[in-house]
């Protein structure tokens, strides 16, 4: 702390010792600088801010797609290049009578280059606020230049807005056509499905589940009949074995056995076919 105070004391003493020298230098600078400052022309800066939502009308329609984070910055760059293009600068020069200062094409070219250099277009992508700034010695001229640029800027934005509306309308119409085609294809598939499964569709007598319950009942009955037929064939075979033992004539039992087996086999085959049909439903 004592060392800091000592340094401040040394600086103050040095300033006091050199006070007349410092005063002389400051006076000389003021004497030379004030006349130069008085001779410099006044400069006036005019700016205008405008709010413009650069979000496309297609953005909510294209929800779910990736959005380019640099889209807003790109819009600012495009707006700057468009606004400061040669046709627009020529229009500004004519509307503000700046073109009267140029007597030759070469002078006009120089004037346009200076105009382009002095105009500043900036924007804030977050707030959608864009600023047009121009500086000139004549305040009225600076105001007219900014007004002309603002009109050009707004006309371009309105044109882009109308184009965006047309693009959005075409996009919606295309989407409607696509979904119409999908709907027609779905209806065609439904019609084909009904034709193939006409006996399985719900009707007035019940629904799909009623039909399914009926098929299950029929399947169970067929299984019971098939089991009964198989058991009957086994019982008949046992009876034929007993008859063969009791009767000495071999022709009659053999014929009876053949007839009975053929009859039961036919019945069993019919029941198995019916059961397969029910299981496929």
How many other CB atoms are there within 10 angstroms of residue 266's CB atom? 11
Residues near 23 by beta carbon (within 8 Å), at least 6 away in sequence: none
Angstrom distance (rounded) from CA 175 to CA 218: 50
Regarding whether 11 and 108 lie in a shared domain, the answer is no
Regarding whether 77 and 24 lie in a shared domain, the answer is no
pLDDT band with cut points at 50, 70 and 90 for residue 191? confident
Regarding whether 78 and 108 lie in a shared domain, the answer is yes
pLDDT band with cut points at 50, 70 and 90 for residue 165? low
Regarding whether 158 and 100 lie in a shared domain, the answer is yes
Regarding whether 264 and 183 lie in a shared domain, the answer is no
Residue 96 domain-assigned (yes or no) = yes
pLDDT recorded at residue 263: 61
Regarding whether 163 and 93 lie in a shared domain, the answer is yes
Regarding whether 179 and 78 lie in a shared domain, the answer is yes
How high does pLDDT run on average in the chain? 70
Convert the pLDDT of each residue in 210-238 to its tens digit. Answer: 777 777 787 787 777 777 777 766 766 66
Angstrom distance (rounded) from CA 42 to CA 53: 36
Convert the pLDDT of each residue in 25-67 to its tens digit. Answer: 777 776 776 666 565 566 778 888 877 665 554 455 444 444 4
pLDDT recorded at residue 259: 47
Number of structural domains found in the chain = 3
Residue 120 pLDDT exceeds 60: yes
Angstrom distance (rounded) from CA 127 to CA 15: 51
* Range among 16-25, 69-78, 199-208 with highest mean pLDDT value: 16-25
pLDDT recorded at residue 131: 85
Beginning with the edge strand found earlier in the chain, give each strand of the sheet holding 129-136 in spatial order: 44-51, 129-136, 119-124
pTM: 0.43
Angstrom distance (rounded) from CA 128 to CA 34: 43
Regarding whether 56 and 180 lie in a shared domain, the answer is yes
Please say which residue of 196, 219, 236 terminates a domain.
196
Regarding whether 29 and 7 lie in a shared domain, the answer is yes
Residues near 202 by beta carbon (within 8 Å), at least 6 away in sequence: 208, 211
Please say which residue of 155, 174, 196 terminates a domain.
196
Class of residue 148 by CB neighbours under 10 A (exposed 0-12, middle 13-18, buried 19+): buried
Residue 113 pLDDT exceeds 50: yes
pLDDT recorded at residue 271: 62
Residue 201 domain-assigned (yes or no) = no
Q: Which domain holds residue 162?
A: 42-196
Residue 259 domain-assigned (yes or no) = yes
């Amino acid at each position: 702390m004592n060392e800091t105070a000592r340094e401040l004391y040394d600086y103050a003493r040095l300033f006091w010792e050199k006070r007349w020298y410092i005063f002389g230098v400051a006076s000389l600078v003021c004497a030379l600088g004030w006349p130069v400052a008085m001779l410099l022309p006044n400069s006036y800066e005019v700016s205008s801010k405008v709010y413009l939502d650069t979000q496309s009308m297609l953005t909510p329609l294209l929800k779910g797609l990736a959005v380019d984070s640099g889209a807003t910055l790109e819009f600012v760059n495009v707006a700057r290049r468009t606004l400061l293009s040669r046709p627009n600068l020529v229009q500004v020069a004519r509307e503000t009578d700046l073109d009267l200062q140029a007597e030759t094409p070469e002078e006009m070219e120089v004037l346009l280059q200076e105009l382009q250099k002095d105009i500043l277009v900036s924007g804030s992508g977050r707030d959608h606020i864009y600023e047009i700034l121009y500086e000139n010695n004549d305040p009225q001229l600076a105001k007219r230049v900014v007004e002309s640029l603002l009109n050009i800027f707004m006309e371009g934005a309105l044109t882009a807005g109308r184009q965006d509306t047309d693009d959005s309308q075409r996009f919606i119409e295309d989407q409607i056509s696509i979904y119409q085609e999908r709907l027609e294809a779905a209806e065609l598939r439904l019609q084909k499905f009904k034709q193939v499964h006409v006996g399985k569709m719900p009707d007035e007598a019940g629904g799909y589940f009623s039909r399914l319950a009926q098929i299950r009942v029929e399947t169970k009955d067929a299984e019971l009949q098939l089991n009964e037929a198989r058991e009957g064939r086994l019982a008949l075979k046992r009876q034929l074995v007993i008859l063969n033992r009791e009767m000495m004539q071999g022709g009659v039992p053999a014929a009876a056995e053949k007839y009975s087996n053929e009859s039961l086999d036919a019945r069993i085959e019919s029941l198995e076919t019916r059961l397969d049909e029910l299981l496929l439903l």
